[in-house]
Each structure stands twice: as C-alpha cells, then as structure tokens.
C-alpha cells in the first residue's frame, strides 16, 4: 500500500524546484498520492499540467486562506473550479487568530462553506485559534472535513472529532509538548500524514522536501512502536473515505 501526502502546496513549490522530478522520486519511494492546496491564481494552471504528466495521483483543492497575504484567489475563481469539477475540496480555508479582521474573515469562511455545501465537496481546514467559533460554524455543515496541521488544544481536538472530521499529522505534533494530542489523533484513527510543503519551508540543502510525509510517518511509528504498515493502512482508508479514490 502507498503513502499519501495529505496536505502540501505543490504548485507553490514548483516555482523554485523541479517538481516533476521530485514527484517522480517520491513515487519511487512510495509516496504516490498528494492532496495539494492552491491559494494563488498563478498556481491553478499548474495543476492541470501536473496531473497530466506524472503517474502520481495529484488531487488539488482551492480556497481563500484566512491569513496568507499572497492568497489572491477570489470567490468567482472557486465557483468556476467547482463548476468545471476540477477540485476535490474547498480549502484550505478557516479562521486564524493572526488575522485582526475577524468579522470579514468569518464571512469569507462561511461563504466558502456554503459553496462546498452546494457542490457537496469536502473542506480542508486551517484553524489556528478561534477553535470554538470554528466548531460552532462547522457543526451546521454536514460535510467531510480535513483539519490540516492541527496543533491546538486537546480539548478542542475532542470537540472537532464530533464532526465528520479527519486530521493530518504534521511535524508540529511531533514536539514533546504535543504528544497527548498526537496520541489522541492516533487513537481516533482519523489521521493522514502531511508535509505542508511550500517554497517558503524548503530547508537549505534539502534535496526533496516531498519526502517529509514519510519522515513524519516513520517518526510516529518509532515513537509509539507501531508497525508503519498499520499507519499506512489507516491513512489509506481515510484517504478513500475523504476522496472516494483508493490508494
């Protein structure tokens, strides 16, 4: 069975690295599926190209991010992507305590959730702070949610599990002070693994940052002495539940 990088920004990375080569190398090492997120207009065309030229399965979502200045996607862009049936989900969208304009942010968030409802699409969520507000909004949308890179409180995590939600395990929850959260994620069996890679996160001398999803999985397997094959089979089931495709 294969591994999926359940949250990354491939088109963003492609501006600084030879992505096709990296994707092919990752596929050889078992990372064959990518759930990538588009946040800028310039990234959109790239995905059509990428899904055509590699054997890997790259699905992408698009959304208006709550706190990323370079995000220039507009509601009309998302509508068009939905109409043309090009995206697997809306996102990443959500709430972020770094954005001082809460009311505007919430309005954009809700409008995109409504769009996801219209097209019955899953939603990729970015929730940093404002967890109770996010839950109160999300509970009225009977949709599937992929809460990416979550590293908030355990209590809020437990609240989010009341939704039809899945979580990506990222480097952020490998830190020691997040181990209770990581354990809860594992126990929920509602997890996938992510790199969240963008061009801004590439480390100096890093040959292929797409291999990070595997590194996160390996570290979790080692920390809790779990057979990696079990982690891989759980995330494969979750990938299928979310996207409708099998790994």
Which residues sit at the interface with Zn ion, rule CB under 5 A? 196
Burial of 126 (0-12, 13-18, 19+ CB in 10 A): buried
**Closest residue to Zn ion in the complex (CB):** 196
Tokens of 154: 């355990």
Could you write out the three-class secondary structure of 125-170? EEEECCHHHHHHHHCCCCCCEEECCCCCCHHHHHHHCCCCEEEEEC
Kindly state the smallest distance separating residue 194's Cβ from Zn ion, in Å.
Answer: 8
Considering the complex, what minimum distance in angstroms separates the CB of residue 25 from Zn ion? 22
Q: How many CB atoms lie within 10 A of CB 128?
A: 18
Q: Report which of 113, 220, 110 is spatially closest to residue 168, judged by C-alpha positions.
A: 220
C-beta of 95: minimal distance to Zn ion in Å?
Answer: 14
The residue among 5 and 196 lying less far from Zn ion, judged by its C-beta, is 196
Q: How far is the CB of 196 from Zn ion (least distance, A)?
A: 5
Q: How far apart are CA 206 and CA 222, in angstroms?
A: 22
Q: Give the start-end residues of each E strand in 55-121.
A: 57-62, 89-96
Q: How far is the CB of 197 from Zn ion (least distance, A)?
A: 9
């Amino acid at each position: 069975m294969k591994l999926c990088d359940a949250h990354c920004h491939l088109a963003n990375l492609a501006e600084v690295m030879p992505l096709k080569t990296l994707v092919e190398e990752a596929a050889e090492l078992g990372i064959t599926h990518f759930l990538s997120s588009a946040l800028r207009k310039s990234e959109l065309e790239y995905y059509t190209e990428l899904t055509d030229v590699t054997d890997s399965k790259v699905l992408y979502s698009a959304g208006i991010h709550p706190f990323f200045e370079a995000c220039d996607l507009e509601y009309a862009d998302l509508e068009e992507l939905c109409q043309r049936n090009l995206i697997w989900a809306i996102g990443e969208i959500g709430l972020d305590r770094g954005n001082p304009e809460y009311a505007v942010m919430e309005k954009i968030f809700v409008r995109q959730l409504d769009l996801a409802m219209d097209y019955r699409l899953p939603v990729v969520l970015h929730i940093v702070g404002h967890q109770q507000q996010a839950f109160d909004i999300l509970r009225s949308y009977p949709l599937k949610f992929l809460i990416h890179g979550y590293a908030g409180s355990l209590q809020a995590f437990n609240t989010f599990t009341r939704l039809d939600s899945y979580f990506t395990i990222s480097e952020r929850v490998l830190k020691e002070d997040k181990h209770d959260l990581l354990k809860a994620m594992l126990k929920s069996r509602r997890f996938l693994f992510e790199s969240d890679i963008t061009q801004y996160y590439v480390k100096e001398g890093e040959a292929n940052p797409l291999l990070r999803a595997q590194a996160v999985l390996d570290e979790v397997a080692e920390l809790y002495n779990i057979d990696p094959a079990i982690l891989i089979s759980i995330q494969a089931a979750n990938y299928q539940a979310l996207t409708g495709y099998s790994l």
